[in-house]
Amino acid sequence: MLKKKMKAKINFFSLLFIFLTAMPIQVPAQVNFGGESHTKLKLIPEVTSVQPGGSFWVAARLSMEEGWHIYWRNPGDTGLETEIVWDLPAGFTAGELHWPYPEKIIEEPLVVYGFHDVIYLLTRIDVDKSVKPGSSVQIKAKANFLECAEVCIPGESADAISLPVKAEPPQPDIRWVEVFSEARSKLPLESKDWQVSAQKDGNSLLIQFNPPQWFTFPFEKVAFFPYTMGIIDNIAQQEVKKKDGSYLLRIKLAENAKIPAEIEGIVVNEEGWRGPGSEKTMEIKAIMGEALAPAASNGNQLGSIWLAILFSFLGGIILNLMPCVLPVLSIKIMGIINQAHDEHTQPWKHGLVFTMGVLVSFLALAGILLILKAGGAQLGWGFQLQEPFFLTFLAAFMFVFGLSMFGVFEIGTSFTTVEGKIQPRSSGFVSSFVSGILATIVATPCTAPFMGSALGFALAQPAWVSLVVFTFLGLGMAFPFMLISSIPALLKYIPKPGRWMESLKQFMGFLLVATVIWLLWVLGIQSGANVVIIVLFDLLITAVAAWIYGRWGNLAMPPKTRRIAIALAVILVLGSNGYVFSNIDKYAVTPQAAAVHSEGLDWREFTQEQVDELVAAGQPVFIDFTAAWCLSCQVNDQVAFSSEEVQQKFKEKKVAAFKADWTSRNEKIAQ
């Protein structure tokens, strides 16, 4: 038996080599290198005539001799995809090939996907508008395939049909009505009513199906057939579990599997997707995500979307209280205080402009996330803080704001003056818009309650759902300011401007400097102490430039002095920052572990292999996905994991604790 299989493989590869090298040579139809083909092609039109500018369907029937098989679009572990090559009149076009679901043919240790006996491959052909009624057209096609029995032989078969051209709409050919009906029953249904998501889990692919409300049929005898070779272990058993109204299909991945950003294929349900005797196959497309989409109660996906919108709005409101956002928002608070007691201003307009700045920023962030995810990147909230360049920029930006709060210089003095001359009533709108943008940027390290589930759901949904959820997150964040600035009764409770505001402004400057220190700590974990040192020198030079601008670049100075001061400040800032940004990679070192040590817990560095081993052995595993730039993660480290009660429970249950540090990009964690 073994010799027989080896001989088959030798024949296969030798003939395949001859076939590939001889492809440019014209071969007569149905003639093979080994003689007559064991598979025959016959073209079957659905109609008796064609109409100019119309379209019609053709079935390519492939009939195999007993014991022989050919291959599906994904042949499985070995083999070649069956191909139909069309030869059409000028102006005619053939659409994509519509495949029936394949058989799983087991030839241990291999599994292939193919067909025995007879199959029908359907194609729609569009007719050229210029063909003349009364004439006839010839449709030709050639099938290229690999046919296998005891040996595998590359073969081809050709056929042609002639159809008359008529001005009236074509009529169906009654001889083939049943054939086309049967062929269409084996084509995959669309999964538009289903919510499908996918995730890599160790050496497995998890596909979750959230069914529509009408689905009450069995979901047990199902199998997934991917369109791409090399993704799954084709011989491994596929496991189905039901959980919280959803179905979870676990499939073992192939060795060295290259998982695309979007999983495409068909799922065959032997019981039928719409009950006994109905269609058995459904086409799915699932974007690979960091988390499976949450199950919708009773298949009501719309309810889940509304819940995500509510959670994102509440999370946006709470985000205002997070330590990353508070220093920047203090600037806006003082702006509202000034505007509240100025009869020439309308505070609600500033609240609206601030809201616009927040929304534009959130939608831009959502767009970047969606574009990168479509390209296969595994990203999440706060992804930009994994980049040393962005951390450096943000630290410098916050530092400059802090210097302004201390009174080293005034941001936008000259711009405000010019703006006031041109359009006095619009003074401060630019500042309100920029405040909204900055508040969004510095909010990314923080995750407020309700936000996590809302964003996890949004990023696993179609793009429009993600954009809606991010919009309401921004509206929630801007809501308190819009409320205060829009209701005159609330403005009465705001204190009048005075010297106390200068003290508050300087105090908030210290909070901004504290934020800079924290950003530099994160940068040190990512890139090492050398990068932090050159960034500190950059901040020093930036401070000197700000001092020069504030001392000699203000409007009280002569124009010549101001121009020299501004030019010198710009040269210092550009030169210093240019050096830093061009040398970060040069001075950076391998990122170190960012996990904060929690007394009493023995943390291990996360590796998927070790986690899989422990889970297989039945040991409980706890994984803390954390990052140095995630302030709420650091609070958990210091509060929850340092609790004696928590530590005791970990020891009692013999829980293996892992730290998955996502401070810097880590593809293993992202997957």
pLDDT at 546: 92
pLDDT at 408: 86
CA–CA distance, 415 with 418 (Å, rounded to integer): 5
Contact between 71 and 146 under an 8 Å Cβ cutoff? The reply is: yes
Strands (E), 230-312: 239-243, 246-252, 262-269, 281-287
- Its pTM stands at 0.43
Please indicate whether residue 20 or residue 210 has the higher confidence score (pLDDT).
Answer: 210
Contact between 213 and 262 under an 8 Å Cβ cutoff? The reply is: no
Residue 561, CA distances (Å) to 546, 554, 575 in order: 15, 9, 21
Contact between 527 and 588 under an 8 Å Cβ cutoff? The reply is: yes
Give the pLDDT confidence of 49-84 residue by residue, as tens digits: 999 999 999 999 999 999 999 999 999 998 899 999
CA–CA distance, 509 with 515 (Å, rounded to integer): 10
CA–CA distance, 120 with 60 (Å, rounded to integer): 6
pLDDT at 394: 78
Does 591 sit behind a cis peptide bond, omega within 30 degrees of 0 on the bond before it? no
φ/ψ (deg, to 5) at 109: -90, 15
Contact between 74 and 228 under an 8 Å Cβ cutoff? The reply is: yes
**291: helix, coil or strand?**
coil
Give the pLDDT confidence of 156-199 residue by residue, as tens digits: 999 999 999 999 988 889 999 889 988 988 899 887 778 888 88
pLDDT at 597: 46
Decide if pLDDT at 47 tops 60: yes
Contact between 323 and 294 under an 8 Å Cβ cutoff? The reply is: no
Contact between 265 and 284 under an 8 Å Cβ cutoff? The reply is: yes
Q: Which residues contact 127 (CB under 8 A, 6 or more apart)?
A: 50, 51, 52, 53, 54, 55, 56, 91, 92, 137
Q: Which residues contact 350 (CB under 8 A, 6 or more apart)?
A: 335, 336, 339, 428, 429, 432, 485
pLDDT at 91: 93
- Please, what are the domains in the chain? 2-179 (2.60.40.10), 195-296 (2.60.40), 301-386+412-498 (no CATH), 603-670 (3.40.30.10)
Indicate the helix (H) or strand (E) that contains 612: helix 608-616
Contact between 104 and 113 under an 8 Å Cβ cutoff? The reply is: yes
| Residue range 618-637: mean pLDDT, rounded | 68
Decide if pLDDT at 27 tops 80: no
Confidence of residue 397 (pLDDT cuts 50, 70, 90): confident
CA–CA distance, 405 with 427 (Å, rounded to integer): 19
CA atoms within 13 A on the CB side of 79: 30
- Which range has the worst mean pLDDT, 306-320, 456-470, 624-638? 624-638
Please indicate whether residue 320 or residue 337 has the higher confidence score (pLDDT).
Answer: 320
Confidence of residue 30 (pLDDT cuts 50, 70, 90): very low
pLDDT at 158: 95
Handedness of CA 386, 387, 388, 389 (dihedral sign): negative
**502: helix, coil or strand?**
helix
Decide if pLDDT at 319 tops 90: no
pLDDT at 421: 39
Selection from 143, 131, 117 nearest residue 58 by Cα:
143
Q: Which two tokens stand for residue 667?
A: 């593809």
Please indicate whether residue 647 or residue 124 has the higher confidence score (pLDDT).
Answer: 124
> Mean pLDDT across the chain, nearest whole number?
77
Indicate the helix (H) or strand (E) that contains 395: helix 388-406
Contact between 173 and 119 under an 8 Å Cβ cutoff? The reply is: no
Hey, what amino acid is at 318?
I
